[in-house]
Amino acid sequence: MRKPFVAGNWKMNTDGHGAVKLAEEVVAGCGETAGHKVDVAVCPPFVYLQQVGKALHSSHIALGAQDVYFEQKGAFTGEISAAMLKDTGCTYVICGHSERRHVIGETDELINKKVKAALAGGLLPILCVGELLEQRKANKTTDVVTRQMKEGLAGFSAEKVEAVTIAYEPVWAIGTGLTATPEQAQEVHALIRGLLTEMYGKKLSNEIRIQYGGSVKPDNAGELMGQEDIDGLLVGGASLKADDFAAIVKAAV
């Protein structure tokens, strides 16, 4: 059985004080549910990782980063390596979030290098895939998600892929209040599971967790999690409210 996995992506929000307060409230709100019945992570901005890590210290909530650079060290001004993230206490790292793909302009090739670097550095990557609204309307969802999966995971052995979580995040549902229906989400999750079977075999594809992300709220989390191939949730806006995030974590069990 795949253990549910809920992660909060705080994006470019909070300040130092607010980040610590939010982390403490998330710890209190999730209680014993986190770690035992569901894996939980929060991904604050880079500059607050250490402070948030301290606030999570005695909990079962893991620390994650929102991005990583693929080089190990050197003249890459402004970038952060996997080793640095590991050093600050990170377990997870989000790779290829749609805002990085579509606002910053990251390509599948770059994202592949980031996933590779994350794994080499001992981090657990969350690889995000998902189509734009115009791509869905043009019936291109399967093509887009297939390309992002194949290029994002290009060159990985089954052994490596085991450590990766996939997050299906339809771009039209991110931060818009529009959620994919559970059926729409399940359809793409089943496609992703099928691709994983094709690429790595049935045993492995049954083990890899696939999160859904896109305007997840306490009132839709349970229904989404009820779908066969939805194993967790990647939560943006609602992860900034401890009560909502804790309710989502509890709904994921």
Applying CB under 6 A, the residues found at the interface with ligand PEP are 9, 11, 169, 174-175, 213-216, 234-238
Active site residue: 97, 99, 106, 189, which one? 97
The position carrying tokens 């979580």 is 165
Give the nearest distance from C-beta 168 to ligand PEP in angstroms. Answer: 10
**Residue 185 and residue 230 in contact, taking contact as beta carbons nearer than 8 Å:** yes
Q: Which is nearer to ligand PEP, 118 or 200 (CB)?
A: 118
**In Å, what is the CA distance from 18 to each residue of 23, 49, 155?**
8, 13, 40
CB of 169 to ligand PEP, least distance (A): 5
Closest distance to ligand PEP from the beta carbon of 66 (Å): 9
Q: Is 223 a catalytic residue?
A: no
- Residue found by looking up tokens 């290009």 in the block: 154
By beta carbon distance, the residue nearest ligand PEP is 236
Query: How many angstroms separate the CA atoms of 41 and 34, rounded?
Result: 9
Query: For this structure, is 169 an active site residue?
Result: yes
Closest CA to 199 of 164, 228, 158, 166: 158
Closer of 200 and 221 to ligand PEP (Cβ)? 221
Which residue's CB is nearer to ligand PEP, number 156 or number 172? 172
What is the chain's length?
Answer: 253
Burial environment of residue 210 by CB neighbours within 10 A (0 to 12, 13 to 18, 19 or more): buried
Q: For the purposes of burial, counting CB atoms within 10 Å of the CB of 47, is it exposed (0-12), middle (13-18) or buried (19 or more)?
A: exposed
Choose the catalytic residue: 79, 169, 189, 228.
169
Nearer to ligand PEP by Cβ, of 200 and 216: the residue is 216
Closest separation in Å from C-beta 73 to ligand PEP: 28
Catalytic residue list: 97, 169
